Amino acid sequence: MAAPVEVRSQDGSFMKMLVYDNNYFMSFFVGNIKDHLADIEQMEVRDDDTFVLTYPKSGTHWAYTLSSMLRTGETTYHGSPTFLDFTNMETINNLPSPRVLASHLTFNFMPRQIKEGKGKVVSMLRNPKDVASSMYTFAKKLDHPDYQARYQLSWEGLLELYLGGRVPSGTWFEYIQAWDRVKRDHKGNNIIHLIYEDMKQDLGSNVRDLAVFLGASCEQDFLDKVTENCTFKSMSTDSANLTPSEQWMNVTNNKILPIYRKGEVGDWKNYFTVAQNEHFDKVYKEKMKTSSFNFRFQ
């Protein structure tokens, strides 16, 4: 059974989450966690399903919007994805095809059929310093009393909890190590890794690669339109004109999806002190020494 926990940093910052089987989950994870994880494991995957897997604040909405436009052929912005983690199985089963679902769970929690090669997985990864500053500013933006009762964080406090893995989804490092294991062991060719920093550098060629991977139309006019509609500017403008879902309304009072902030590489420099950065670099070097993933920080 999942149990509610309150984790605290040395300076008294805190987060309320759920803990199950030594893993931290967001407090709005469905049901008692155990049963929902079992439902996900057994879920019937469709050939044209896409699962967008991300560590929080790594560009979930970006990868979802791109995948969704490519899969459906429609280039309109639709806001937030349906998360496997936060949606009951009946709703997921009733979604029309092609489904593009998101999750902050690691690949090992995914449906058995995906592991057997059915459906497609779009993984999106981002350097851990920008993830940390995005997580911090996101938590600060949540202006609903319910949420304020769940998260109270200073930057120092967030960094301490983040490095210690006492945040939803655990440590970024373990998340990457889990992908390294999948790279080594998974037999199928139904996984693509998108890297946030590469997408910022050249969105067009990443859109083409993703289109090929998803078996979508590769007509240049279509790809150009998708690229144009998935820039930070375009997505943040579109999102400001869209009323967020009820789930989001529960965490914000201003009716604007609190996702689009700066959308840059290197904004972490505005948050890390020199000492915090030196410490982080040391941890990164140690934890990533056997990883096949490499991240740029600017």
Per CB under 6 A, does 62 bind ligand A3P?
yes
User: CA 236 → CA 81, 104, 136, 182, 288, distances in Å?
Assistant: 15, 22, 19, 33, 33
DSSP helix/strand/coil, 207: helix
Per CB under 6 A, does 225 bind ligand A3P?
no
The residue (of 49 and 130) whose beta carbon lies closer to ligand A3P is 130
Per CB under 6 A, does 54 bind ligand A3P?
yes
The token pair that represents 141 in the structure block = 């933006």
DSSP helix/strand/coil, 185: helix
Per CB under 6 A, does 251 bind ligand A3P?
no
The residue (of 244 and 263) whose beta carbon lies closer to ligand A3P is 263
DSSP helix/strand/coil, 132: helix
The residue (of 213 and 271) whose beta carbon lies closer to ligand A3P is 271
Minimum distance between the CB of residue 229 and ligand A3P, rounded to whole angstroms?
Answer: 9
- Asked if residues 49 and 119 have their Cβ atoms less than 8 Å apart, the reply is yes
The amino acid at residue 79 is: G
Active site residues: 104
Distance (Å, whole) CA 242 – CA 203? 24
Minimum distance between the CB of residue 24 and ligand A3P, rounded to whole angstroms?
Answer: 17
Part of the chain binding ligand A3P (CB under 6 A), chosen from 29-37, 112-120, 166-174, 226-234: 226-234
The residue (of 134 and 276) whose beta carbon lies closer to ligand A3P is 134
Distance (Å, whole) CA 140 – CA 263? 16
Binding stretches for ligand A3P (CB under 6 A) = 54, 56-62, 130, 134, 137, 230-232, 235, 259-263, 267
